[in-house]
Chain A
Amino acid sequence: MEGQHAAAVAADPAVGSGYFDAYAATGLLAVVGVLFVAVAFTANRLLRPVVYSPEKLLTYECGVDPVGEDWAHTQIRYYVYAFLYVIFAVDAIYLFPWATVFAAAGYGAGTLIEMFLFIGFLAVGLLYAWKKGVLEWT
């Protein structure tokens, strides 16, 4: 375990030579970040007063007592956007591996046509959603 860790940080961080080596620094930064949060809240705990009262712990609602139970109906207007997003985002993910190679020697015009097919699909999907009134509010 110790040896593995040493090997992971042995690569020059500036070059990022090994694919996973680069993430060793990310892991270390996670430790630094968690430490920062822990120190901040420990200091906070030492400095702050603790004077609880039932009124203070009440949910805020414009200065009056909260109204209603924990079950309520509301119209969620954004769920169609969620569907749209999932579809488009999954498509967009495929762009990245493709983007790094599409102009390499031997690809050329073929990949460009592929790209227009891809963009065409997205555009048609967007137009369809638009036509169906998904992008309208009411």
Chain B
Amino acid sequence: MNLLDTVLRCVATLVVFLVLPLVIGQTEHKVMAHMQGRLGPMYAGGFHGWAQLVADGVKFAQKEDIVPAGADRRVFQLAPAVSLLPYLFVLLAIPVGPDGFVGQAIDAGLFFVLAVMGVAVIGKLMAGWASANKFSLLGGLRTAAQLMSYELPMVLAAASVAMAAGTLSLPGILDAWQWYWLPWQIIGGFVFFTAGLAELQRPPFDMPIADSEIIFGAYTEYTGLRFAFFLLSEYAGILVVSALTAVLFLGGWHGPMADQLGWLWMLLKTFALAFVVIWLRVTYPRLREDQLMRFAWVALVPLALGQLALTGIIKVAIA
């Protein structure tokens, strides 16, 4: 029953999509609390506040849904879903273990995930524009500018891996992966991860939602479940960017006893990267808007081009 099989894979993807971002969110509560020498949420659920995010979800679901009178109603209401769902599609294409342990192997998988991730930003732009709020519009424009600057180094870094592997299929890339890719592609890995962070608007690249300047950027007018969707999309984004970096640059499921424990290695690498994402949030101050733009064009793009040259030379030399 192949239809049943496909349905199961889709449902499994949805479950992963709903559970792992919450785990990352809870980890963020705790890691930030420990790094800042405080407790964090401790009461919900009894043990170290493990149910805090569930409680938050219940709270969000019960809150009144407000669409400002001046807003473009349909677009405003649609934006959170447009921002959230692309990450679900990306998860479908990410290989978890060897021998077809993947939601769905897609031939042009690398291209697919990069394209789909760009759609999430459109959701944020929709929110910024449709809110009819000055802060939202500024936030939306900053989001768009940030996407345009950081998408390019991200695509170039990903292309470097495609060159090394000679395929665009994500499982195919992992099949071709060798340990020496780790040092070989490390510049590309840095560029990809950094650009991914910027695309998620995570600190230190959180200028589009800088609370001290423009309230909460494109999300300023949102309440209740729609607001929760935006928050969930941020954590799903962390999951997706971490998982993609793990697949492309850290060898995904490769590791000791990969045949049995491949999925565990993949999870460990993904969560280690997610931890770094949280760590960076606690460590670095926000980049100013012009610094943000300069950093992409002056640092990341040349680095990515350099990585392309390096990949090309070595690949032809060993081919």
* Chain A residues near B (Cβ < 8 Å): 6, 9-16, 19, 22-26, 28-30, 32-34, 36-37, 40-41, 43-45, 47-52, 54, 56-62, 66, 70, 76, 78, 81-82, 84-85, 88-89, 92, 95-96, 99-105, 108-109, 111-112, 115-116, 119, 122-123, 126, 129-130, 135, 137
Could you tell me the distance between the alpha carbons of A24 and B106 in the complex, rounded to whole angstroms?
10
Judge whether B2 and A103 touch: CB under 8 Å.
Answer: no
Report whether B308 and A115 are in contact in the complex, using a CB–CB cutoff of 8 Å. Answer: yes
Q: Would you give 13 A-B contacts (Cβ < 8 Å), ordered by A?
A: A33-B89, A44-B65, A49-B62, A50-B64, A51-B64, A58-B68, A59-B68, A59-B221, A78-B144, A84-B148, A85-B151, A104-B166, A137-B289
Judge whether B156 and A28 touch: CB under 8 Å: no
Say yes or no: A14 contacts B105, CB within 8 Å. Answer: yes
Residue of A nearest to B116 (CB): A26
Query: A130–B217 Cα gap in the complex (Å)?
Result: 29
B9 within 8 A of A: yes
A122 to chain B, nearest CB (A): 6
Is B225 an interface position by the 8 A CB rule?
Answer: yes
- What's the least CB distance linking B119 to chain A, in Å? 12
Which one of B68, B111, B313 lies within 8 Å of A96 (CB-CB)?
A: B111
A32 nearest in chain B by CB position: B10
Known contacts A9-B2, A78-B293: A92-B106 contact under CB 8 Å: no
Contact of A84 with B104 at beta-carbon distance under 8 Å, contacts A24-B6, A78-B144 already known: no
Report the separation of the CA atoms of residues A88 and B289 in the bound assembly, to the nearest whole angstrom. Answer: 21
CA distance A61 to B111 in the complex (A): 41
Whether B272 sits at the interface, judged by CB under 8 Å, is no
Q: From residue A34, how far is it (CB to closest CB) to chain B in Å? A: 8
Provide the bound-state CA to CA distance between A138 and B71, in Å: 33
Give me 11 other A-B pairs in contact (C-beta within 8 A), A25-B10, A119-B305 excluded: A25-B6, A58-B68, A59-B68, A60-B221, A78-B293, A89-B152, A95-B155, A100-B162, A112-B313, A116-B312, A122-B301
**Contact residues of A: prevailing secondary structure:** helix
Question: What total of chain B residues lie within 8 Å of the partner, measured CB to CB?
Answer: 82
| In contact, B88 and A48 (Cβ under 8 angstroms) | no
- Give B contacts to A, CB under 8 Å: 2-3, 5-7, 9-11, 13-14, 61-71, 81, 84-85, 88-89, 92, 99-107, 110-111, 131-135, 141-142, 144-145, 148-149, 151-152, 155-156, 159, 162-163, 166-169, 215, 220-221, 224-225, 229, 289-290, 293-294, 297-298, 301-302, 305, 308-309, 312-313, 315-316, 319
A28 near B6 with CB under 8 A, answer yes
The 5 A-B pairs of least Cβ separation, nearest first, read A14-B100, A16-B105, A137-B290, A78-B145, A85-B148
- CB of A103 within 8 A of CB of B166, answer yes
Residue of B nearest to A37 (CB): B81
Question: Closest CB of chain A to B253's CB: distance in Å?
Answer: 14
- Shortest distance from the beta carbon of B219 to any chain A beta carbon, whole Å: 11
Find B62's partner among A12, A48, A58 (CB 8 Å cutoff): A48
Given the interface pairs A22-B106, A60-B133, the reply to whether A123 lies near B305 with Cβ below 8 Å is yes
**Are B159 and A88 neighbours in the complex by a CB distance under 8 Å?**
no
Q: How far is the CA of A27 from the CA of B225 in the complex (A)?
A: 25
Q: Which residues of A contact B81 (CB under 8 A)?
A: 37
